[in-house]
Structure 1
């Protein structure tokens, strides 16, 4: 397929990556997994963390960027975090104006559960994951935008917007707590917050502030492996402390129940404040 000048194709390991030069940002997305690898707003530094040890081979999930966990997230998903991130996707449509670039993707092989990912790329990144149930049975959908944000050090980050939310800590066998005040990670954590609102974080070293707005999601996942990253072959150890995952999700706390013919949308907007 031939593309316009603002949309180029690059090989990246065994995958094809689209490089999108939008009016106010540059973005890279792998057609394997419809996986956003990089997003850089004009005049700003890279927003996403991508492991230099990431594996770009068929059958392997890519570590970093924004993986799509669909149509299952974590517990109960087979394979783990669903099939979307280890499937081939195709670019269905694209457009460009003086404000933004818009691209739409779908899996090359669709099932009775159909997915569409739409990106709107400008000084902010908007992602919408749509799901349509064409089967004759209801489906219990869990999903996530598993965003890895680049930071100076996760222990220098303050996450605002989760105050008062109840969360489950997976590292403590699902023990439940209430978030008191701004979240300042100081060690490994793997939490699901019952939170539908906007979240923002500030990096105290760089001063960068990032906002994450969402709809169609009542779970916010916050994850950083801490010392456990040393046992992950696809995590570059020299930068293992330089990311924090803040994920827009539907988890077991808020699954989407899709009846036959029903559809749903999960929406995320990322912007630098």
Structure 2
């Protein structure tokens, strides 16, 4: 399928993905970032801040930023690493992934530059395949060590999900797990609630999470299902009112209509020997919550990949 590469009015080239049922996605070369995913009813499923700054070198507030080679401030690099602040290229040699039949997909690549080697002196290739099919958005990141010595990195795909009202949202699949609370100097706690709900700022890294997590939006009667592989942690974040006011690239009230649930490898950095490759995978899909009669069956949620 020929790639539909367009240059939008903001000057950032992007790839438009469409599929026969009518859903669509937009992927920027800047940051290799998905900035839109619409369902077959043309409803936007990802949150994008109305104040997002769409010009380098700022990171873009919304969509699905790629955090590499560092998550958060857990290292000497800029917050969340540099991959989300670089212009990626179309990857003309995306093998060895199988071809994406019945899917609209794009393969992107980011290689270490002279500039990057000054701050992170390790040679790498970071590839990302974004595939769209009916009701599903799949991201497959791969990191190859092209250096002469081993290196380690942390990684995340930050999913800014669009929700109707954060105080009506619940996350299932993370109960009973340990998490680091970034609001408490990364102190470790165990989740006691039977589902995560929101009534204030939340910034947690859940550890050793299942391959499937559900984000239930009661008001929209819609459930996001996040399936992931190779990224054992899950980050749950909402800035709430005070932090949102402090963010220059977010409107004061926008925290109410977004929730980040990230696929991540944070607690244990990924180590690659020379010429080794790491591969992750995440699938985002939506189901009508009424299908679950308003309550998600945890046994269905936690079964992992279908």
Whether these two folds match at TM > 0.5 is: yes
- More helix as a share of residues: 2
The Cα of 1:77 is off from its aligned counterpart by 4.9
Contact 1:168-1:174 within 8 A present in 2 as well: yes
Matched, 1:161 2:160: no
The Cα of 1:266 is off from its aligned counterpart by 1.4
Other-structure match for 2:252: 237
Other-structure match for 2:152: 140
The Cα of 1:112 is off from its aligned counterpart by 1.6
Among candidates 248, 265, 277, match of residue 263 of structure 1: 277
Matched, 1:43 2:41: yes
* C-alpha separation in 2, matches of 1:249 and 1:149: 16
- Could you say what the CA RMSD is over the residues aligned between the two structures, in angstroms? 2.1
> 1:62-94 CA distances to partner (integer Å, 9 max, x unpaired)?
000000001111111512111110001112259
Other-structure match for 2:12: 15
Contact 1:154-1:242 within 8 A present in 2 as well: yes
Other-structure match for 2:123: 112
* C-alpha separation in 2, matches of 1:244 and 1:77: 27
Matches within 5 A, 1:164-179: 164-179=176-191
Number of residue equivalences: 269
- More strand as a share of residues: 1
> 1:179-198 CA distances to partner (integer Å, 9 max, x unpaired)?
12111121101000003311
Matched, 1:66 2:81: no
Among candidates 200, 217, 226, match of residue 187 of structure 1: 200
Contact 1:127-1:269 within 8 A present in 2 as well: yes
Contact 1:159-1:184 within 8 A present in 2 as well: yes
Farther off after superposition, 146-155 or 16-25: 16-25
Contact 2:171-2:213 within 8 A present in 1 as well: yes
Among candidates 27, 30, 34, match of residue 29 of structure 1: 27
Contact 1:219-1:254 within 8 A present in 2 as well: no
User: Could you say if the C-alpha distance between residues 97 and 144 of structure 1 is closer, same or farther in structure 2, counting changes exceeding 3 Å?
Assistant: closer
2:214 counterpart SS class? strand
Structure 1's unaligned 5+ residue stretches are: none
User: Could you say if the C-alpha distance between residues 18 and 77 of structure 1 is closer, same or farther in structure 2, counting changes exceeding 3 Å?
Assistant: farther
> 1:36-66 CA distances to partner (integer Å, 9 max, x unpaired)?
0000121362110001100011111000000
TM superposition score normalised by structure 1 = 0.92
> 1:138-162 CA distances to partner (integer Å, 9 max, x unpaired)?
1111010011000012111110000
> 1:159-218 CA distances to partner (integer Å, 9 max, x unpaired)?
000011100111111122111211112110100000331101111111110100000011
2:47 counterpart SS class? coil
Among candidates 189, 214, 222, match of residue 208 of structure 1: 222
Matches within 5 A, 1:60-139: 60-74=58-72, 75-93=74-92, 99-107=102-110, 112-123=123-134, 124-139=136-151
